[in-house]
Chains A and B, each alone.
Chain A
Amino acid sequence: MGEWLSRVRFFFAGRSRAEVDDEIQFHLERQVEANLAAGMSPAEARRQAAISFGGRERTREQCRQQRPSWSLESLLRDIRYAIRGLLCNPGFTLVAVLTLALAIGANSTIFSLLSQALLRALPVQDPDQLVVLSFAGGAPGHHHSEGGNTRGHQHEFSYPMYKDLRDGNTAMSGLIASAPASVGVVWNNHAEPVSAEMVSGNYFGTLGVRPAVGRLFVASDETAENASPVAVLNFDFWKSHLAKAQVEGKTLLINGSPFTIVGVAPPGFHSVVWGRLPEVYVPITMQRTVEPEWTYLNDRKGYWIDLAGRLRPGMTRARAEASMNQLYAALRRAEVPLLIDQTPNDLQDFIDKAHLNLEAGANGFSPFREDARLPLTIMMGMALLVVGMAVVNVASLLLVRAATRVREFSMRYALGATNGQILRQLLTEGLLLGMLGAAAGLLIAPTALGALIHWMSGTTEGRVPFSGSLDWRILGFTIAVTLAASLVFSLAPGVQFWNPRLAEALKQQTDSGRGSSLRFRRTCVALQIGFSLLLIVGAGLFVRTIQNLHNVDPGFATDHVLAFTLDPQMAGYTPATVPAVEQRAIDSIAALPGVRGVAATNDADLRGDDRQGDVVVDQDCAHPRPDDNEFDIELPWVSNGYLQALGVPLVAGRYFTAEDTATSMKVAIVNESFARHYFASNAAALGHRVCRPHRPSTDAVIVGVVKDVKHSSLRDPVMATEYTLFSQAERPGGLWYYVRTWQTPLAAANSIRAAIAGIDTKLIVGNLSTLNDQVDDNLLSERTVALLAGTFGGLAMLLAGVGLYGILAYSTAQRTREIGIRMALGARRGTVVRLILRDVLILAGWAVGITIPVAVLMVRTVRSQLFGVSVADPAVYAVGVLLIGLVAMVAGLIPSRRAATVDPARALRTE
């Protein structure tokens, strides 16, 4: 303790040089006196005193090294020296720092996304105790899934099963349920669509989430169906949409029904499922209000809620899984009577294969995460590769610089510097470069991250579960990457200087015995050129894909069409009254000036949506013949003017008309693909009956055949399609409306909103944009790939250019004498420039030549993502090679011009 205090005191006030000198002086004088007393002559006395003392300078130095602040002083000296060195070469410093900044910035940006999606734990209490439930085994019934299910891991359970598991288990201190939904919310007479989450009463309590305002749900909020119309708001929604108003106890309309707001969730909390961004939370028992078209609460065959649990303290996951499975097996056996037409196979599937999985849930289950995992991992790999390239290039630049410092370092060795001291100097310089690069990289990272997130959220009001802020994890990762990178590139010249043969280095500067190092660096640059070409080619192919998709003819005109959604149930309409409201909306929009036609469907066009199922033709719907080769067809419900308004040409029979109503004969129109699959000709399809198996109410007569048009997306092939009328459908729901206009479509937006508000102000016009914009949004993944591949490709090309420059500058500096001799012997400047450029082009040529076949092979793996473009598209490759050539020429120009300005007389004299 005292020792530390003393060290700290002397850290700031070590003995001064004058004091040490005085002390040594006194010692010598005292020794001289003693020697004189022993009878020596004055001269001899001084000589003997000096001999017995030894080197004064050495003592002085050793005294200084004892100071507690010594290591810091020498570090500061190294840093001062390094800064001076970097300032002497501003060009080199700038290029190196920028190279590192770009690479580290890209790296931190991508890592931030990766960290948020894959690594960050949920912002709840003790996330490590959470487990996510999924099950294996048959589950006949209705499934509502957000995706993310794999074989043997289905994540959606029925509500009765949830209650049985929650109340019967002994392994968990809480088992919670949640399910997403889209609802309409009215606040202050303003109606808007929001996302909601239906949660169990113990949801917030089990997660350990505390309210920001008021209270969150408790078990008594989840008692009986529709018993507790209460809502909790998400913090962001409360802040952005309700301006942090005093909301506790106020009433909010959800799907037209009043809900009492009881509180606001804390900032940062969204859901136990990562990627869900609910704006309001409601008790799961309010399901009928939130999703009026379904009745799930008492349905053991409706699979729709995600379960997560908190293990009891001291309970392991394996033990909990074993105990939960006993309970689950018993519950499953009790459900057996519900199975229809059970065959032994079905029974075995339902009972024997049933298994409950408890998986670690600290990060929460997320279907979105599973979607994001692969692309993020690939992007992270690319980013790390870019860092690797930057390291190699900076090392290359440092070697160029070191080549001109051979004399300096040899001098320092000669003056007694140790390997350690030289190494420390190199490390200081490298770390300084690395830190400058990292600082600049961290400055660009938030901007890049923000841009990337903005890009991902698309042009519509879609929200993404990523935040643009950097946290400690990113900072730590950046620092780790920077340290590792700095270590590697600063040690590269160190290897060169490791105790060089001094005399040799002082005598000659020519490159001797370092051919292998140059060959290694040439290989690295060749690899970089190859890598950037690969990415540029990838980007090019996706750009061509996007162009081609834009040129695809969907079979109907997509211009001058405004699209929007309208779901009367979000305004509180009961299922029985929905079709009438929807028809009124169609009629009132059709009456607007400038409107050519109105189409409505439950199955959005060209947005990647589909509604598929199997049908039987000309059979008893209640008891269809079993059919093994199931053939899925597209089953949209449309308005009676849909096909005419979109402009889908009729081939046989008739379109739907106003005479086809809810009470008239059920009718269907099929497309050519359907007719081709089931009948001999288009005309032969007319008059036949089509229905869904086991659902007699869907039985309809084919009255018309239309041409094939693209439906789900421009890319997907046309499927066999059966159009039926939404007014004749079993279960009415929200519709997509397509309004074909004379003028620019968005000009009609306000009159459409007004027309809808004229029917009922609670009705919400959602997702309003032109059909063409929606088609563009649907190409988001292609555009993202093109953007990322292009960005990384450009970055890689830039780095390859820097690397190429580094090598050329180095070899040109080494060849100064050779060039001098050539010029002395009559070589022209042009010849010298050609000499250097030839070198560049040979290197680039090799790299390109080897990369092209590799690129063709690698691109084949993404062939299914491409559209209308060959994996060996000549134009794309030509552009890539041209770009590489351009970069190579620019990189080669500077060193070759320097070589051309070599003064032969001086070049020869310096040797």
Chain B
Amino acid sequence: MPPSTDLLQGTLDMLILKAIAAEPQHGWAIAQRIEMVSGNVLQIGQGSLYPALHRLEYKGWIRAQWGASENNRRARYYSLTAAGRKHLEAELDNWARLTGAINLVLESI
């Protein structure tokens, strides 16, 4: 297993929001997707995923609904709310600015 990289403070929220931006997903799928897409570099402690999901739900950025899963079982699907989408855009902008700046520094020194 490749060494896991600790997630930057606050980036977990952004990753979750991004993971469900296209379509509603349940918790397991969100974890899988993030790990897979990152090539297993970003390992989400699965136990800490749910508190984060609940926190985002309480903040009103995501909405949870019970639905049928791909194997036809009851699962909780999370989707973005309008407020969540706005928050995600702001976070992505921020992120782009931050990484862009860091890259600039790294490249020019």
Same assembly: yes
Query: Among residues 41 to 57 in chain A, which have CB atoms less than 8 Å away from a CB atom of chain B?
Result: 52-56
Chain A neighbourhood of B57, CB < 8 A: 10, 15
Q: In the assembled complex, how far is the CB of residue B22 from the closest CB belonging to chain A, in whole angstroms?
A: 20
Chain A neighbourhood of B46, CB < 8 A: 27, 31, 52-54
Asked whether A59 is an interface residue with its Cβ less than 8 Å from the other chain, the reply is: yes
Asked whether A22 is an interface residue with its Cβ less than 8 Å from the other chain, the reply is: yes
Known: A3-B83, A26-B69. A59 touches B47 (CB 8 A): yes
For B50, give its contact among A5, A20, A29, A31 (CB under 8 Å). A20
Asked whether, in the complex, the Cβ of A53 is within 8 Å of the Cβ of B59, the reply is no
Beta-carbon contacts of B71-84 to A below 8 Å, as 1s and 0s? 10111100000010
Chain A neighbourhood of B74, CB < 8 A: 22, 26
Asked whether, in the complex, the Cβ of A54 is within 8 Å of the Cβ of B47, the reply is yes
Asked whether B60 is an interface residue with its Cβ less than 8 Å from the other chain, the reply is: yes
Asked whether, in the complex, the Cβ of B76 is within 8 Å of the Cβ of A62, the reply is no
Known: A3-B59, A7-B59, A54-B46. A27 touches B27 (CB 8 A): yes
Chain A neighbourhood of B28, CB < 8 A: 26-27, 30-31
- By beta carbon, the residue of chain B nearest A27 is B28
Bound Cα distance A29, B75 (Å): 11
Beta-carbon contacts of A65-96 to B below 8 Å, as 1s and 0s? 11110000000000000000000000000000
Q: In the assembled complex, how far is the CB of residue B74 from the closest CB belonging to chain A, in whole angstroms?
A: 7
Beta-carbon contacts of B36-63 to A below 8 Å, as 1s and 0s? 0000000001111011001101111100
Asked whether, in the complex, the Cβ of A62 is within 8 Å of the Cβ of B58, the reply is no
- By beta carbon, the residue of chain A nearest B63 is A6
Asked whether B33 is an interface residue with its Cβ less than 8 Å from the other chain, the reply is: no
Beta-carbon contacts of A9-39 to B below 8 Å, as 1s and 0s? 0100011000110111011011101100000
Bound Cα distance A464, B28 (Å): 78
Q: In the assembled complex, how far is the CB of residue B27 from the closest CB belonging to chain A, in whole angstroms?
A: 5
- By beta carbon, the residue of chain B nearest A20 is B50
Chain A neighbourhood of B59, CB < 8 A: 3, 6-7
Q: In the assembled complex, how far is the CB of residue B65 from the closest CB belonging to chain A, in whole angstroms?
A: 12
Asked whether, in the complex, the Cβ of B50 is within 8 Å of the Cβ of A59, the reply is yes
- By beta carbon, the residue of chain A nearest B47 is A54
Asked whether, in the complex, the Cβ of A24 is within 8 Å of the Cβ of B71, the reply is no
Known: A26-B69, A26-B76, A27-B27. A68 touches B58 (CB 8 A): yes
Bound Cα distance A29, B26 (Å): 13
Asked whether, in the complex, the Cβ of A65 is within 8 Å of the Cβ of B47, the reply is no
Asked whether, in the complex, the Cβ of B58 is within 8 Å of the Cβ of A55, the reply is no
Chain B neighbourhood of A7, CB < 8 A: 58-60
Asked whether, in the complex, the Cβ of B51 is within 8 Å of the Cβ of A66, the reply is yes
For A30, give its contact among B58, B60, B69 (CB under 8 Å). B69
Beta-carbon contacts of A672-700 to B below 8 Å, as 1s and 0s? 00000000000000000000000000000
Asked whether A879 is an interface residue with its Cβ less than 8 Å from the other chain, the reply is: no
Asked whether, in the complex, the Cβ of A24 is within 8 Å of the Cβ of B76, the reply is no
- How many chain B residues touch A (Cβ–Cβ < 8 Å)? 24
The dominant DSSP class at the B interface is helix
- By beta carbon, the residue of chain B nearest A69 is B58
Asked whether, in the complex, the Cβ of A58 is within 8 Å of the Cβ of B60, the reply is no
Chain B neighbourhood of A6, CB < 8 A: 58-60
Asked whether A2 is an interface residue with its Cβ less than 8 Å from the other chain, the reply is: yes
Bound Cα distance A29, B76 (Å): 14
- By beta carbon, the residue of chain A nearest B46 is A53
Bound Cα distance A31, B61 (Å): 26
Asked whether A181 is an interface residue with its Cβ less than 8 Å from the other chain, the reply is: no
Asked whether A40 is an interface residue with its Cβ less than 8 Å from the other chain, the reply is: no
The tally of CB-CB contacts under 8 A between chains A and B is: 80
Chain B neighbourhood of A22, CB < 8 A: 74, 76
Residue among B54, B59, B74 with the most chain A CB within 10 A?
Answer: B54
For A63, give its contact among B50, B69, B73, B75 (CB under 8 Å). B50
Asked whether, in the complex, the Cβ of A23 is within 8 Å of the Cβ of B76, the reply is yes
- By beta carbon, the residue of chain B nearest A29 is B73
Bound Cα distance A611, B72 (Å): 108
Q: In the assembled complex, how far is the CB of residue A21 from the closest CB belonging to chain B, in whole angstroms?
A: 11
Beta-carbon contacts of A331-367 to B below 8 Å, as 1s and 0s? 0000000000000000000000000000000000000
For B58, give its contact among A14, A19, A33, A52 (CB under 8 Å). A14
Asked whether, in the complex, the Cβ of A26 is within 8 Å of the Cβ of B60, the reply is no
- By beta carbon, the residue of chain B nearest A49 is B46
Chain B neighbourhood of A26, CB < 8 A: 26-28, 69, 73-76
Q: In the assembled complex, how far is the CB of residue B99 from the closest CB belonging to chain A, in whole angstroms?
A: 26
Chain A neighbourhood of B27, CB < 8 A: 23, 26-27
Bound Cα distance A185, B46 (Å): 90
Chain A neighbourhood of B83, CB < 8 A: 2-3
Chain A neighbourhood of B32, CB < 8 A: 34
Bound Cα distance A68, B50 (Å): 15
Chain B neighbourhood of A62, CB < 8 A: 47-48, 50-51
Residue among B26, B27, B58, B73 with the most chain A CB within 10 A?
Answer: B58
Asked whether, in the complex, the Cβ of A63 is within 8 Å of the Cβ of B60, the reply is no
Asked whether, in the complex, the Cβ of A23 is within 8 Å of the Cβ of B58, the reply is no
Chain A neighbourhood of B76, CB < 8 A: 19, 22-23, 26
Bound Cα distance A33, B72 (Å): 13
- By beta carbon, the residue of chain A nearest B87 is A3
Bound Cα distance A53, B47 (Å): 5
Asked whether, in the complex, the Cβ of B58 is within 8 Å of the Cβ of A66, the reply is yes
Chain B neighbourhood of A63, CB < 8 A: 50-51, 54
Bound Cα distance A6, B82 (Å): 13
Chain B neighbourhood of A14, CB < 8 A: 58
Chain A neighbourhood of B45, CB < 8 A: 54
Bound Cα distance A524, B60 (Å): 55
Q: In the assembled complex, how far is the CB of residue B20 from the closest CB belonging to chain A, in whole angstroms?
A: 15
Bound Cα distance A29, B47 (Å): 14
Q: In the assembled complex, how far is the CB of residue A669 from the closest CB belonging to chain B, in whole angstroms?
A: 96
Bound Cα distance A24, B32 (Å): 15
Chain B neighbourhood of A52, CB < 8 A: 46
Asked whether, in the complex, the Cβ of B60 is within 8 Å of the Cβ of A5, the reply is yes
Asked whether, in the complex, the Cβ of A3 is within 8 Å of the Cβ of B60, the reply is yes
Chain A neighbourhood of B47, CB < 8 A: 53-56, 58-59, 62
Bound Cα distance A54, B51 (Å): 13
Asked whether, in the complex, the Cβ of B54 is within 8 Å of the Cβ of A66, the reply is yes
Q: In the assembled complex, how far is the CB of residue B46 from the closest CB belonging to chain A, in whole angstroms?
A: 5
- By beta carbon, the residue of chain A nearest B43 is A52
Known: A26-B75, A27-B28, A27-B46. A66 touches B55 (CB 8 A): yes
Asked whether, in the complex, the Cβ of B69 is within 8 Å of the Cβ of A10, the reply is no
Q: In the assembled complex, how far is the CB of residue A539 from the closest CB belonging to chain B, in whole angstroms?
A: 62
Chain B neighbourhood of A33, CB < 8 A: 71
| Selected A-B contacts with CB under 8 Å, 28 pairs | A2-B60, A3-B60, A3-B83, A5-B60, A6-B59, A10-B57, A10-B58, A14-B58, A19-B76, A20-B50, A22-B76, A23-B27, A23-B75, A26-B74, A26-B75, A26-B76, A27-B46, A27-B50, A30-B28, A30-B75, A53-B46, A54-B45, A55-B47, A59-B48, A59-B51, A63-B50, A67-B58, A68-B58
Given contacts A14-B58, A23-B75, A26-B69, 17 further A-B pairs with CB under 8 A are A2-B60, A3-B59, A3-B83, A22-B76, A23-B50, A26-B26, A26-B73, A30-B26, A30-B69, A30-B71, A33-B71, A52-B46, A54-B45, A59-B50, A59-B51, A65-B51, A67-B54
Please give me the 6 A-B residue pairs with the lowest Cβ-Cβ distance, nearest first.
A6-B60, A54-B47, A62-B51, A59-B47, A30-B28, A66-B54
B residues sitting closer than 8 Å to A (CB atoms) are 26-28, 32, 45-48, 50-51, 54-55, 57-61, 69, 71, 73-76, 83
